[in-house]
A and B are shown apart, each in its own frame.
Chain A
Amino acid sequence: MTATTDAPTRTGTHPRVEGLDKVTGRARYAYEYAADEVAYAWPVTASVGAGEVRGVDVDGALAQPGVLAVLWHGNAPSLADVGDSKVAVLQSPVVAFRGQVVALVVASTSEQAREVATTLTVTYDSREPDVVLRADHPTLYRPESVNGGYSTDSVIGDAVAEFDACPVQVDATYTTPPEHNHPMEPHASTAVWGDGRLTVYDSSQGGNAVRSTLSTLFGIDRELVRVVTSHVGGGFGSKGMPRAGVVLAVMAARQVDRPVKVALTRQHLFDLVGYRTPTIQRVRLGADPDGRLRSIDHQALEQTATVEEFAEQSVAATRVMYAAAHRRTAHRLVRLDVAVPSWMRAPGETPGMYALESAMDELAVATGVDPVELRIRNDPDVDPETGARFSSRNLVACLTLGAQRFGWAGRDPEPGVRREGRWLVGTGMASSTYPTYATAASCRAGVDPDGGYDIAINATDIGTGARTAMLLVAADTLGVDPSQVRVRVGDTDLPQAGLAGGSMGTTSWGMAVEKACRELLEAVRAAGGVVDERIEVAVDTKAEIAAQAELSRHAFGAQFVEARVDIDTGEVRAPRMVGMFAAGRIVNARTARSQLIGGMTMGLSMALHEEGVPDAAFGGFTNHDLSTYHVATVADVGDIDVGWIDEVDDDVNTIGTKGIGEIGIVGTAAAVANAVYHATGVRVRDLPITLDKTGQLA
């Protein structure tokens, strides 16, 4: 860490609170709660790419031993409409994509449920699916808005005319494939009805949304639904909202009047929990010979489903990154017979910054300006599209300090000239950014006469270290040792709070925890400073969120990569990566480092491995497991060094945090691609950078 101010750091470092439970196998995930007479439900998914379900051999399946129920749209209970096709399971004969749930088999053992589900006869009327995104697709259209509430387009000046007038021009098209979240824990749910109440143990990034959705779908009073999310095996956006599995578990449990477990298979995850849309992005940068940008034009084409629109905000980051008087950004969609795309780690920023930061590297090559200097030269003073003041913006510091840490100085820009044995060696870099969000949350804080403090908030720890971060925020505010504080999260019986997503968990929950602790100290003072009986306060942060000033709030970063490319095979390795971030107050150095490393690792995986392959003949994806959809393994990852500046930002929110869950993945793929260019002289503009794309090198 490198201090840039004299302000005292409020960064703690504390081991993960639940670490012992996780290394001993005691941490309990959604599927792992015991229930009497539990039954198992197994989803049956469409084997056709588009069409309608005509019939299901329910009687044949029920005749087999142990089968308790077979549900399909012909006999499934009606659910209320919540406007989300992903949870409207078994409600219609329409097959919108291959892999959609068309039936559910409930049996007394998981082996039998699986066997009967995989042999169930389902008949269809099918038609040929249309699943391949292309720029000239006839259904191309302009969505009303895009994810996150961003505008579809932005226009400032005349980007095209200015581009045409610029002496230096970069005009390139970049593509990214469908990418799948694949948390290590596939989505699982255990649903238990009892005494008119529903308890669901769910693998989710936010139990409150699960409770609301189930309450509406099934017409149950919200207060009668409890959702427990004690430990969650990763999510990366795919567990941000309830998906098919939890709805099926609740439906089946009500149907057979027994507790029911549903565990989606790894195969199901390709179709049922969202994925990142493929993108086709054209970037045009017009500049003066010194690299100063005059025009930025970024257009993204993405896919969505026929049954529901999801528009990823792929060009949103381009609106805040660099100064230029003339600018245009746009999102367009194509409706296809595909599963509904959704959130995957830094939706928008991740594919968008791959394109923009690759184009910036092409501009560096075209102008001969060093890539780090080029970005510094184009750093804006205010938000370049809204004109708003940045709460803080330290991209330049990240670029400078990251370059120092990596050893960037003196880099020879000439591509394809460094060879060590069989390897061509190069270095590349890219900027990172992610917006700072916050939502209102509530929290309860108490102190007992024995001096023990406790914090209750329905935050969700999906592996980010949320429990530990809240512990440190509380201890810091209370001015006590963390050992005196107990934090409870992951249960809708606790005060309501938002999801672990959008890199806003620590900020949203932390604001509530900090406020609760401040008010608790006040209450103790009001009681004369003596705690002879329990003192408890409850707060929410609606007022603080509503009072937030109109500012441009973003975290920034810079990533540096060394790439080595085998001259014979084209194999790409990344032995060394450095990330430097400015993300406001870092609450817990230990878990923050892990999160940033994790983001960069997923970015490396995106750069080199991940590729969902649409099945043009049969619909859906051709790859449906982890042997055909590759993610980085330990053998793919080298040294990853992350740091941050001690950014003190009193304006961003009441606790000064900006969020770190997503920024680590933003820009990584461009940094890798830029390093591959520097190593080989080959510019790969379509991810992933597989060995067939670097061509003949020897």
Chain B
Amino acid sequence: MTPVTSSAVSVHVNGDAYRLELDHRTSLLDALREHLALTGTKKGCDHGQCGACTVLLGGRRVYSCLVLCVAVGDREVVTVEGLADGADLHPVQEAFVQRDAFQCGYCTPGQICSAVGMLREAEAGWPSAVTSADTGTSRLDEAEVRERMAGNLCRCGAYANIVPAILDAAGHGGADR
């Protein structure tokens, strides 16, 4: 019997439903880039080591290169293309522009999606390795942002702008959208 190597898969991305016939080896990242023409999500290492492919899956940030598309199920996928409301940028996107928090832009979609997910995590009270037991996450400071964003590499070295950008966004409702 010939082994079954592909399946019909339904995915929900940025509010749209898609039905794809996919090779089982297809990562969520490749499904977005190769099959849905959503190339905003970037491939930097394909190994879960750089963060360029970060998207929101069921509201949580994930490395989409480490998720097989057949395992996504009915969880909503939000990519960088799905963050703005028409011409109205998400506060994190707006802050990245204002702070020049990127140069080449290749890690940027991942940084932005990661920051959006991270702000929600902090808002929900999830502690990080540097969270003080006394104060909790009530105050998101530079140390918290650095710790929580350490999974997103930027080789252009925009970190010194990314941190204040995310803090700006945190003060402008970045966790609420």
Q: Is the CB of B30 within 8 A of A15?
A: no
- With both chains docked as a complex, state the minimum distance between the C-beta of A13 and any C-beta of chain B, in angstroms: 10
Closest to B150 in A: A635
Q: How distant is the Cα of A183 from the Cα of B44 in the complex, in angstroms?
A: 9
Counting CB contacts under 8 A, is B146 at the interface?
yes
- Chain A residues contacting B103 (CB-CB under 8 Å) are 234, 463-465, 591, 594-595, 598
- With both chains docked as a complex, state the minimum distance between the C-beta of A189 and any C-beta of chain B, in angstroms: 14
Q: How distant is the Cα of A29 from the Cα of B52 in the complex, in angstroms?
A: 14
Q: How distant is the Cα of A161 from the Cα of B34 in the complex, in angstroms?
A: 66
Q: Taking each of B37, B41, B81, B154, which has the highest tally of chain A beta carbons within 10 Å of its own beta carbon?
A: B154
Counting CB contacts under 8 A, is A404 at the interface?
no
- Chain B residues contacting A265 (CB-CB under 8 Å) are 45-46
Given contacts A111-B23, A627-B47, A627-B49, contact A183 B97 (CB under 8 A): no
Counting CB contacts under 8 A, is A182 at the interface?
yes
Q: How distant is the Cα of A21 from the Cα of B105 in the complex, in angstroms?
A: 9
The number of residues on chain A lying at the interface, defined by a beta carbon within 8 Å of a beta carbon of chain B, is: 62
Q: Is the CB of B155 within 8 A of A597?
A: no
Given contacts A22-B102, A27-B105, contact A594 B161 (CB under 8 A): yes
Q: How large is the interface on B (under 10, 10 to 19, 20 to 34, 35 or more residues)?
A: 35 or more
- Chain A residues contacting B117 (CB-CB under 8 Å) are none
Q: State which of A185, A595, A627 has its C-beta within 8 Å of the C-beta of B106.
A: A185
The B13-72 residues at the A interface (CB cut-off 8 A) are 23, 25-26, 30, 33-34, 37-47, 49-50, 52
Q: Is the CB of A602 within 8 A of B155?
A: yes
Q: Mark A24-39, 1 if CB is under 8 A from B, else 0.
A: 1111110110100000
Q: State which of A109, A234, A266, A637 has its C-beta within 8 Å of the C-beta of B160.
A: A637
- Chain A residues contacting B1 (CB-CB under 8 Å) are none
Counting CB contacts under 8 A, is B156 at the interface?
yes
Counting CB contacts under 8 A, is A418 at the interface?
no
- With both chains docked as a complex, state the minimum distance between the C-beta of A28 and any C-beta of chain B, in angstroms: 7
Counting CB contacts under 8 A, is A86 at the interface?
no
Counting CB contacts under 8 A, is B107 at the interface?
yes
- With both chains docked as a complex, state the minimum distance between the C-beta of A345 and any C-beta of chain B, in angstroms: 10
Q: Is the CB of B106 within 8 A of A115?
A: no
Q: Is the CB of B80 within 8 A of A25?
A: yes
Q: Mark A580-593, 1 if CB is under 8 A from B, else 0.
A: 00000000001101
Counting CB contacts under 8 A, is B137 at the interface?
no
Q: How distant is the Cα of A111 from the Cα of B31 in the complex, in angstroms?
A: 11
Q: Mark A624-667, 1 if CB is under 8 A from B, else 0.
A: 01110001111101011000000000000000000000000000
For this complex, 29 residue pairs linking A to B, each with C-beta atoms less than 8 Å apart, are: A23-B80, A24-B80, A24-B83, A25-B80, A29-B39, A29-B106, A31-B39, A32-B39, A110-B34, A182-B155, A184-B52, A184-B154, A233-B105, A234-B103, A265-B45, A266-B45, A266-B50, A594-B156, A595-B103, A598-B103, A601-B159, A605-B157, A625-B45, A632-B157, A633-B150, A634-B146, A634-B149, A635-B150, A640-B160
Q: Which 5 residue pairs of A and B lie closest in terms of their CB atoms, listed nearest first?
A: A25-B40, A463-B104, A601-B157, A233-B106, A22-B105
Residues of B within 8 A of A (CB): 23, 25-26, 30, 33-34, 37-47, 49-50, 52, 79-81, 83-84, 89, 93, 96-98, 100, 102-109, 112, 145-147, 149-163
